[in-house]
Chain A
Amino acid sequence: MQHFALTIIGRDRPGIVSQVTEALYRLGCNIADSSCSILGGQFAMILIIAHPEFKDKESFGDAFTALEESGLSVFLRTLKPGGEKHAKIEGEICMISVYGADKPGIVYRVTRELGERNVNITDLNTKLIGSDEHPVYVMMIEAILPDGIDPEEIEAAMNAIKTEMNVDISLRIITPVEL
């Protein structure tokens, strides 16, 4: 089945999810993976959808026009075959907490170290908290350490950023338990 990635974002209000999913249901789309969240005052939806007959963007016709007219931005991406399946990533799951006085470059500096070591980020959230006078930046990363990368190596790299950027960083390994 052809899969698509659908991104929808708009000013948060009750009813966005039902409005979007009603449109998808009427089209005959399946929703596979999805993640939806409030970011600032916006509600963002990211969905992997599939349709038994649709092959490309054109197949959807003007199905999303009503959503757009209600103030939502809609973006549809046609996936290449297999693009809906995630590769099985082996390795240890690692949570990294980063927080400190807000300044430019926190996300970039931390993720650059991870990217250079082929650490795969599976989830990342950031939020600006604190007061207007003292804004505090908080970032939570869940990542998978590839085999051959020691948690100590990442910790050392993070420690260097701690000093360089004057932020606090901690790292811990999460061991999922199958019971």
Chain B
Amino acid sequence: MTVRSILLYPDPILKQLCKPAKRDDPKIDSLIQDLIDTMLDAGHSVGVAAPQIGSLSRVVVVDVSSSKLGKKEENHGLLTMVNPEIINSHGKKTMREGCMSVPDYTGNVDRAEQIVVQFIDRSGKEQVIQAGGFEAVAIQHEIDHLDGLLFLDRVSSLKTDLFRRKG
């Protein structure tokens, strides 16, 4: 069990493209454990991506089941995703997102409302799940980290932008 510290932007690791994890790599399981430990230690967190703790492997953990928003909706509990890929998405949901790696800032981000994700689970099995709502947003946010994207790259509007489009 190792709680690792969360890297903060401008750490360059957060802007790098992560490499696919090898299924038989023994280091992956301990990385998964560190991600879970780090997520739990940061009591309020609903997900952590490998680059946030300094690893450039395509691994994320997500668990919205204990968050105020997540527990109201159907969810998968603790998800451990190796090489996750969104294979289908639809709908649009805007949430005010923040990120442990970018403290003290939040922004409105549009994401797909429903997604289908393919990944390898902790036991090495291929999985395909459908996720919606807050869980879908959390998964998309964490997968973005694997591509070197922060929510800052996706902010869709200033706090109250109703008037900005029309000019």
Contact = CB atoms under 8 A, between A and B. Distances in A.
A179 B106 contact: no
Contacts of A38: 167
Interface in A48-105: 93, 95
Contact of B96 (A127, A138, A140, A177): A177
Contact of A179 (B68, B99, B159, B167): B99
B159 A123 contact: yes
A179 B47 contact: yes
Interface residues of A, number: 15
8 contacts: A123-B160, A125-B162, A175-B69, A176-B98, A178-B45, A178-B98, A179-B99, A179-B138
Contacts, number: 52
Interface of A: 38, 93, 95, 123, 125, 127, 138, 140, 142, 174-179
B46 A176 contact: no
A175 B162 CA distance: 19
A88 B111 CA distance: 29
A93 B107 CA distance: 13
Given A125-B160, A125-B162, A127-B163, A178 B96 contact: no
Contacts of A142: 159-160
